[in-house]
Amino acid sequence: MKRTFFIAALFLLMTWMFAFAETPATQPVAPPAPRKLTAKISPEAQKTLDEMKAAYGGLTSLELAGTTSFDSDISGKKGHETDTFTAGFKAPNQFRHEMKGNMIAGSTGEKAYVLSVEDNTFIQKDAPKDRVAAVDAPRSIWEVVTLQNPSLAMALAMDAGTHLIDGATAFAVAGSKETSAADVEKGTVVEKVADVKLGEKSYTVLKLTNVGGDFTFLVEPESHLIRQVTIDQTKFLKHIGQPDVKKATITVDYTTSTTPAKMTDAQFAWTPPAGARELTSAAMAKDDGEGAAAALVGKPAPDFKLKDLDGKEVSMADQKGSVVIVDFWATWCGPCVEALPHLNKLYEEKKAAGLKVLAVSVDDEKEKVAPFVATNRLTMRVLLDNEEQKVAEKYGVQGIPQTVIIGKDGIVKKVFVGTGPQTDDEMRKIVEEAMK
């Protein structure tokens, strides 16, 4: 199970975007109104933003390549993972971005699309005819580019400076339902700080700070294009309840940034790969918005035997006759950490009526689980699927948290992948219906 935070975060982001962007008209679901964070920009920073706006707005073509890495020290476990990407842009609206083995996004000029390489699923939309404000772009496509390739996103934006700030402020509240009024009031502070050297070259530095973290942009002083972006997520992960976070840093480093570049229409051609499945409204209705795990719905819950934290064996077959929630999670997973208290609260409210919750940890290091459970005062039963994660495999787990609701008859009623603003209410309704 791949741990790279930005890959995991992107999986959840894609799930959330697909759900809202592709919901059938017969089942309208509106995303929550985003909390607005104001931006306080120093005069020096504003000058740099204006230079970036002019530079990106004047591009006719751009070739990019680089790496995205995640360095972490969370709950005593250190990690370093790196992925590579390439991209091309031709004004005003053609582009292709590929994160190796992960995502491909692009626009032919007529159609815009995003393909999940692992799942071989894609979304496609009519492409905007010109550079656009983020709010007017196909969200499920443009936000993939914003997250994985910020320089390309700024080339596609009507106003690169505004896009840079909006991207950082959106990231600040995207993963947390608990952003306080005080945090909103603080907003985003944008400053120009001392230049930084990479090798023998000095770069202009913009620093953005808000509840989501510290964002550092290194800007090439001649071209005014991004050379490197660093996002320190330490503060954000602590904000959503992740314990013992010493380091959590995403770095997007551009090893190639060439303009003008030789680009042809053929480079932006798009044909879905063999066997790829389009996530249309009909497909979303059929799959109930939860991808491969939705195949469980309407079928008997896969049986398993796992040990709890006391070493006692628990069998799924023994739970028949009760409504059961099986939740797959890990101590290193920020969205899991945010969701677990809500699940535990539901358990406390319904356990007297017979609800059972089995919180299945997929942590590699099981010795991390018991202290986490104690610190967070979780009372639901925690099971360990730590070695080969066979139970997670049985339940089609590709991203966590994954929450499976099983009826008294042992049949799976619903699968939630990830967590969102409406998840708690939906889960409660399904549980209450199943308990009648």
How far is 193 from 201, CA to CA, in rounded Å? Answer: 16
Lowest mean pLDDT among 99-103, 146-150, 183-187, 287-291: 287-291
Reference 95, options 73, 110, 116; nearest CA is 110
Helices (H), 243-289: 281-287
Q: What is the pLDDT of residue 281?
A: 46
Q: What is the pLDDT of residue 10?
A: 40
Domains in the chain, CATH or no CATH each: 5-281 (2.50.20.10), 290-435 (3.40.30.10)
pLDDT tens for 29-59 read 233 334 455 778 999 999 999 999 999 999 9
- Banded pLDDT at 212 (limits 50, 70, 90): low
What's the token pair of residue 418? 């990830």
- Banded pLDDT at 186 (limits 50, 70, 90): low
Reference 208, options 54, 35, 40; nearest CA is 40
Residues whose CB is less than 8 angstroms from the CB of residue 32 and which lie 6 or more positions away in sequence, other chains included: 421, 422
Average pLDDT of the residues in 338-365: 91
Kindly tell me if the per-residue pLDDT of 5 is higher than 50: no
Kindly tell me if the per-residue pLDDT of 79 is higher than 90: no
Average pLDDT of the residues in 6-25: 37
Reference 216, options 170, 154, 152, 150; nearest CA is 150
DSSP designation for 408: T
Residue pair 92/79 in contact by the 8 Å Cβ criterion: no
Q: What is the pLDDT of residue 356?
A: 95
Reference 137, options 105, 165, 169; nearest CA is 105
Q: What is the pLDDT of residue 185?
A: 53
Q: What is the pLDDT of residue 58?
A: 96
Return the H-helix or E-strand segment holding 328: strand 324-329
Residue pair 335/177 in contact by the 8 Å Cβ criterion: no
Kindly tell me if the per-residue pLDDT of 86 is higher than 60: yes
Kindly tell me if the per-residue pLDDT of 65 is higher than 80: yes
Helices (H), 274-382: 281-287, 334-350, 369-375
Q: Annotate 88-111 with DSSP letters as a single string.
A: EEETTTEEEEEETTTEEEEE-SSE
pLDDT tens for 266-309 read 999 999 999 888 875 444 444 444 455 667 888 999 999 999 99
Kindly tell me if the per-residue pLDDT of 162 is higher than 90: no
> Cα–Cα distances in Å, from 203 out to 153, 168, 169, 198, 408?
20, 20, 23, 8, 62
- Banded pLDDT at 84 (limits 50, 70, 90): very high
